[in-house]
Amino acid sequence: MVVIISDTGPLLAFAGVNQLTILQQLFTTVWIPQAVWRESQTHNDAAAEQISHARQQGWLQVMTAPPPQDFPASLGDGEQEALQLAAAHPNALLIMDDRLARREALRRNLAFAGTVRVLWIAQQRQLISDAAPLLDAMAANGYYLSRQLLQQINE
């Protein structure tokens, strides 16, 4: 069974456009480490409320990661714990967008997908009709993702 682990950025990006349920529909259960939970609840806003509600529903589960070891100082606590949690579960798939965190995932041979890929999968499975407007909405919320990448994936 594949374990899905999300970093803070994608979680907030989906919640920020009222599409957090895409993660539930695609993956049924999503794990987040304690640091991601804390980071997602920093602001008292609608995104934090949606994430809290998902946790209450039980499909978003806060997990304790082994203590992070040997990570670049440039990675945040959430990224480090997400990577460490994935390393502890051989069938894990990380959802993360941060370039340095993805580079570290590659270095550690961990599987990952970004928000654009998740939106593309949701579009392919007809959970959404078009991923591009969601990317635009995420960008309007301050979470920039490449529309060009989505175009490349669609080709």
What are the pLDDT digits (tens) for 112-123? Answer: 999 999 999 999
Amino acid 152: pLDDT: 63
What's the rounded Cα separation, in Å, for the pair 6 and 95?
Answer: 5
- Find residue 62's DSSP bridge partners: 32
CA angle at 67 for the pair 8 and 39, rounded to the nearest 5°: 20
Kindly state the tokens that stand for 125: 């499975």
Amino acid 59: pLDDT: 97
pLDDT, tens digit (0-9, with 9 covering 90-100), for 22-67:
999 999 999 999 999 999 999 889 999 999 999 999 999 999 998 8
pLDDT, tens digit (0-9, with 9 covering 90-100), for 84-114:
999 999 899 999 999 999 999 999 999 999 9
Amino acid 150: pLDDT: 54
Alpha helices in 2-130 (DSSP H): 8-16, 21-27, 34-40, 46-57, 77-87, 99-107, 115-124
Neighbours of 21 (CB within 10 A): 15
Averaged over 9-14, what is the pLDDT?
A: 96
CATH architecture of the domain formed by 3-154: 3-Layer(aba) Sandwich (3.40)
